[in-house]
Amino acid sequence: MARPRPVEFDKVKVVAENRRARYDYFIEDKYEAGIALQGTEVKALRFGEGSIVESYAEVKDGEVWLINANIPEFSHGNRHNHEPKRPRKLLLKEREIAKFTGATERQGMTLVPLSVYFNGRGRAKVEIALAKGKKAHDKRETTKDRDWKREQGRIMRDRG
């Protein structure tokens, strides 16, 4: 029987992507979370600014927070502009938060943001994943597999 396909989220405009996360972690489960933003943060994201390369998520007091995500100040903002690296609250259901709490405390997993995007309704969303860190030999294995797949594609294309 075929393996069920993972859930794909409705990503209309991807603002920031953490491509390094797939290299550094084994991705177990993906979740879509809303993000609590201020007005100038939304405007900065709509202009395509923002980075989640060094960011992570953590569960604190029954809430999930996105830490170290950089959304630069809005260029046309005034004195009510936001702080670029402030912690931002992620909007999730209690059942998902309980699952994250158990996985991070008991199983030693990490919450890693994979991308920030706007969905079809124009809402800013964060795709976060429960992930387990890779060791150095796992990373070498990943690189070797990726190179072999690329070489297979070349061979198949050349043979027609």
- pLDDT tens per residue, range 38-87: 888 898 899 988 999 999 999 999 999 999 999 988 877 777 788 889 99
The CA R_g of the chain, rounded to the nearest whole Å, is: 18
- Using CA atoms, how far apart are residues 21 and 4, in angstroms rounded to an integer? 23
Average pLDDT over residues 138-152: 91
Whole-structure pTM value: 0.80
CATH superfamily of 13-134: Small protein B (2.40.280.10)
Distances (CA, A) of 68 to 56, 72, 83, 114, 150: 7, 12, 11, 14, 34
- Using CA atoms, how far apart are residues 131 and 140, in angstroms rounded to an integer? 18
